[in-house]
A and B are shown apart, each in its own frame.
Chain A
Amino acid sequence: MNYKLMIVDDSRVAYAEIQKLLEGSEFHIVGYCRSGEAALESYESLNPDVVTMDIVMPGMDGLETCQKLRERWPDARILMVSSLAYSATMEASAEMGAKGFIFKPFTQEELLSGLRKAVSDCAS
């Protein structure tokens, strides 16, 4: 089964890295948003199976975007991605319903493992 992935990250480098690491995997990128605001606008039309969400972004940060996405689309599967490892941030994202948290820099194995866990409830 293939899964549609939306990437939310202000860094085009992060996007390129994720794209490179997912080559040949079951995840294909259907959208790339450089801000939380853009993610909220695009989510419905892209209808992704899973979202990777950076935390530190200008404007609306990843936590707020996660919260707003989950309010509007409670089934949204979100994997938080950050180099910032504050326990309070991780707890807050879990409370908002994020499916996991991976730390930059991540390996291909860590990324795939996080994404696979996030979509584990997808109908097969």
Chain B
Amino acid sequence: MAQQNCTWVLKMADLLVLEILQQMCGIQMMSRAVEETAHVAMDTVYGFVDGEYRMQLWFRAEPRIFGRIAGNMMGKSPQQQDIQDYAEEFFNVLCGRFVSEIYQTTQMKARFLPTHYGVPPKESCEIENKLVCTRCFISEDQELAEFSWCFLNNNLEV
């Protein structure tokens, strides 16, 4: 079951990120194979899901991507606070759609908690040594982004 589900979750994650970036923010990216991004400066927006399953999710991207998300949605040059607020709203929508899609297939419900822009707390995935799934994306300007998640309990190992 876990193995079966894995493929559709990965595909679904790819589609959602690309669709929401395009529709909500006017940004076109492409999926690509996992990148080594340790050398790239990236900012993070993250959140948690809690309910019939628990999950941590985060979206890392080069700062220019977050600037474009806010700038494109606002239609003008954003301030730093705008960049954070728009990143959080983008990620709220992404998380909402992600857990909705999981619900459509598994009928398991969870609620996502308010998302944050910044450094995720050092808990959950790393400490609990859980498997982290990551999808990578690249823009036509070669900017990198990643969407990652990990399930924190065994109710739903997808």
Q: How far is the CB of B31 from chain A (nearest CB, A)?
A: 19
A22 close to chain B: CB less than 8 A: no
Name the B residues within 8 Å of A86 (CB-CB). 100, 103, 109
Q: Is the CB of B20 within 8 A of A105?
A: yes
A30 close to chain B: CB less than 8 A: no
Name the B residues within 8 Å of A122 (CB-CB). none
The answer for the CA separation of A35 and B117 in the assembled complex, in Å, is 21
The 9 closest A-B pairs by CB, nearest first: A83-B96, A13-B89, A105-B24, A85-B100, A83-B93, A84-B96, A104-B93, A105-B23, A11-B89
If A13-B73, A16-B74, A104-B93 touch, whether A84 touches B99 (CB-CB below 8 Å) is yes
Name the B residues within 8 Å of A104 (CB-CB). 24, 92-93, 96-97
Q: Interface on chain B toward A: helix, strand, loop, or mixed SS? A: helix
Q: How far is the CB of B103 from chain A (nearest CB, A)?
A: 6
The answer for the CA separation of A58 and B92 in the assembled complex, in Å, is 13
Q: Is the CB of A58 within 8 A of B114?
A: yes
B75 close to chain A: CB less than 8 A: yes
Name the B residues within 8 Å of A14 (CB-CB). 89
Query: CB-nearest residue of chain B relative to A88?
Result: B109
Q: Is the CB of A13 within 8 A of B96?
A: no
Name the interface size band of chain A: 10 to 19
A47 close to chain B: CB less than 8 A: no
Q: Is the CB of B85 within 8 A of A82?
A: no
The answer for the CA separation of A83 and B92 in the assembled complex, in Å, is 8
Q: How far is the CB of B97 from chain A (nearest CB, A)?
A: 5
Q: Is the CB of A107 within 8 A of B96?
A: no
Name the B residues within 8 Å of A72 (CB-CB). none
Near A by CB (< 8 A), chain B positions 83-142 give: 85-86, 88-89, 92-97, 99-100, 103-104, 109, 111-112, 114
Cβ contacts A to B, 12 pairs, < 8 Å: A11-B89, A17-B89, A56-B92, A56-B96, A58-B114, A83-B95, A84-B112, A85-B97, A104-B24, A104-B93, A105-B20, A105-B93
